[in-house]
Amino acid sequence: DTAVSQTPKYLVTQMGNDKSIKCEQNLGHDTMYWYKQDSKKFLKIMFSYNNKELIINETVPNRFSPKSPDKAHLNLHINSLELGDSAVYFCASSEGLVSDTQYFGPGTRLTVL
Amino acid sequence: AQSVAQPEDQVNVAEGNPLTVKCTYSVSGNPYLFWYVQYPNRGLQFLLKYITGDNLVKGSYGFEAEFNKSQTSFHLKKPSALVSDSALYFCAVRDGGRAGGFKTIFGAGTRLFVKA
């Protein structure tokens, strides 16, 4: 069984469209994250939820909106996609907030044309 | 503010030789330090972490890292490199206190290339 899964794996879309990426973890963890990895492989935190509560909300455009319907799911919705949004987006989860190991999903490669 | 530096973009080593991937960090509170590995087109995988206790931490696939508080370093090491170790390695730090805002900061990554 996949511990942290994301769908879709690849997403190709036109500028201006709205899209969503879904993430699910079956590890029973309390905390989930969204990261963005750019073409130079820099990895940057975007959001973090702990027990469905938003804990980290980094400086990202408000076109990006996370939603956590329950502890096992953290989805990312992106409005009005721009060329610069092209990247690989990783979901991750951890048992708690501070000292715990993060488990990463396989990533979603988003390409905006 | 916390930060982490990986001074080498790439490390090249021959199979069977020891390898070191360097990492230095800066935090205001106690550091929680991690190493992750990323293979092509995959997510990051956890290798090892230092939270407290023994400065030498052993992890997956024969890797280990040494926490050095005076030098604020957490270098990743392996006694004998394998070709299959070739991947992108990330060092990460989290401030153990609330000053870090529960964020994990990742280094820029070091590409390890092991030649047969």
Digit-coded pLDDT (tens) for B41-77: 899 999 999 998 899 999 999 999 999 999 999 999 9
Q: How far apart are CA A38 and CA A111, in angstroms?
A: 11
Q: What is the residue whose two structure tokens read 């409005």?
A: A79
Q: Does pLDDT of A9 surpass 80?
A: yes
Higher per-residue pLDDT: A58 or B60: B60
- A35 forms beta bridges with A45, A90
* B89 inside 8 A of chain A by CB: no
pLDDT computed for residue A76 by the predictor:
97
What is the residue type of B83?
V
* B1 inside 8 A of chain A by CB: no
Indicate the pLDDT class of residue B116, thresholds 50, 70 and 90: very high
Q: State whether B96 and A48 contact (CB < 8 Å).
A: no
Q: State whether B44 and A102 contact (CB < 8 Å).
A: yes
Q: State whether A45 and B103 contact (CB < 8 Å).
A: yes
Q: Which residue of B has its CA nearest to A96?
A: B102
Helix (H, G, I), strand (E, B) or coil at A86: coil
Q: How far apart are CA B34 and CA B93, in angstroms?
A: 6
DSSP-derived letter for residue A96 is S
Average pLDDT taken over every residue of chain A: 92
Nearest to B46 by CA among A40, A58, A99: A99
Evaluate whether A93 touches B28 at the Cβ level (below 8 Å). no
Evaluate whether A9 touches A21 at the Cβ level (below 8 Å). no
What is the residue type of A104?
F
Choose from B36, B46, B104 for mutation: most chain A CBs within 10 A: B104
Q: How far apart are CA B116 and CA B15, in angstroms?
A: 5
Q: State whether A56 and B32 contact (CB < 8 Å).
A: no
Digit-coded pLDDT (tens) for A76-86: 999 999 999 99
Digit-coded pLDDT (tens) for B71-83: 999 999 999 999 9
Nearest to B41 by CA among A106, A24, A3: A106
Evaluate whether A74 touches A48 at the Cβ level (below 8 Å). no
Helix (H, G, I), strand (E, B) or coil at A91: strand
Q: State whether B42 and A107 contact (CB < 8 Å).
A: yes
Q: How far apart are CA A55 and CA A33, in angstroms?
A: 10
Q: Looking at beta carbons, which residues of chain A come within 8 Å of B104?
A: 45, 102
Nearest to A97 by CA among A24, A40, A41, A48: A48
The CA radius of gyration of chain B, in Å to the nearest whole number, is 14
